[in-house]
Amino acid sequence: MSDGVKANDGQGTLWNGAAGQAWVASQGLLDGLLRPFEDLLVRAVADVRARTVVDVGCGAGGTTLAAARTVGANGHCTGLDISAPMIEAARARAAQEGVTVDFVRGDAQTMALPPSTFDMIISRFGVMFFEDPVQAFANLRKACREGGAMCVIAWRSADENPFLTAAEKAAVSVLPDAVLRRPGGPGPFTFADPDVVRRVLVDSGWADVDITPVDAPCVMPESALVSYFTSIGPLGTVFREADDSTRARLIEVVRPAFDPYVHGDEVRFDAACWVIRAKT
């Protein structure tokens, strides 16, 4: 499978620029924070005894490598992401760890995927950013073998995930005119409504759709908290472009918003997600 970089302009610009670099720089922190979801996907791969797996929106490759270790030498995994910095980091990581994996840069919505190839499609928070979700999931459906399966994880609503929006809400007092998150369009909470998810999957040709709510405990070091909210998410984009005095003020104002989640030297919160399964 060769790189297919024809991607929607907004997401391509975002993830091939500073935002993608920030995720690469935070790879270790994010892999630890999101470990419960990696474990869930690995169990799903093992449960269906998949041998060929594609990880959509694979980022820096953590879930892809975990799936590859699960399928073993008789299987093969491919990681797919729109972000060149993340794919480069994933390839370097695979080489360092000695795991045979293909990492391909491309837009899963539009790129020509090999037909009837994969036993399973997985994703950890990588499927909410398509401009045309029906086209994207139809494209993925064609790449999956008959009898194949899909297991992807998406966020539930912003209201159910206050940790994820705490920084931007607190930052409004410092940046009242900044647009930190635009309503509508691709984004983390695009699949908050399970009826929307079900309609997208049915319209794109998937069957036996199952959408299960999961609340997973997530943990990261308190010492990494400031780096987290000044690097990741919509506030991270604004923070990178701000002057030094504005950055200092943002840290001063935003950090207390996370006090309810700080327990000693750890930050803990429950992530409200959907585990979305379907079959060909």
Contacts (Cβ under 8 Å, ≥6 apart) of 41: 63, 66, 67, 122, 124, 151, 153
CATH superfamily of this structure's domain 9-160+180-219+271-279: Vaccinia Virus protein VP39 (3.40.50.150)
Contacts (Cβ under 8 Å, ≥6 apart) of 27: 59, 60, 62, 89, 93
CA R_g for the chain: 18
- Average pLDDT in the 126-131 region? 94
pLDDT higher than 60, residue 119: yes
Contacts (Cβ under 8 Å, ≥6 apart) of 35: none
> How far is residue 126's CA from residue 124's CA, in Å, rounded to a whole number?
6
> How far is residue 133's CA from residue 186's CA, in Å, rounded to a whole number?
9
Exposure b/e, 21-43, CB count within 10 A at least 16 = b: bbbbbbbebbbebbebbbebbbe
Name the helix (H) or strand (E) containing 50. none
The chain-wide mean pLDDT, for the chain, equals 92
> How far is residue 143's CA from residue 116's CA, in Å, rounded to a whole number?
5
Helix runs in 8-125, H state only: 9-15, 18-25, 27-33, 35-47, 62-71, 84-97
Residue 7's pLDDT is: 47
The pLDDT-based confidence of 15 (bands split at 50, 70, 90) is confident
Residue 35's pLDDT is: 96
pLDDT > 90 in the chain, percent:
82
Helices 133-143 and 194-203, axial angle in degrees (round to 10): 50
pLDDT higher than 90, residue 267: yes
Residue 180's pLDDT is: 65
pLDDT > 70 in the chain, percent:
94
- Average pLDDT in the 93-118 region? 95
263 φ, ψ (degrees, to nearest 5): -130, 95
Q: Which of 91, 88, 143, 134 is nearest to 113 (CA)?
A: 143
**Least confident residue range of 13-27, 92-106, 219-233:** 13-27
> How far is residue 278's CA from residue 149's CA, in Å, rounded to a whole number?
6
Contacts (Cβ under 8 Å, ≥6 apart) of 62: 27, 31, 34, 38
β-strand pairing of 266-279 with 144-155: antiparallel
The residues spanned by each domain of the chain are: 9-160+180-219+271-279
Segment 174-205, tens digit of pLDDT: 988 776 666 666 889 999 999 999 999 999 99
Segment 211-233, tens digit of pLDDT: 999 999 999 999 999 999 999 98
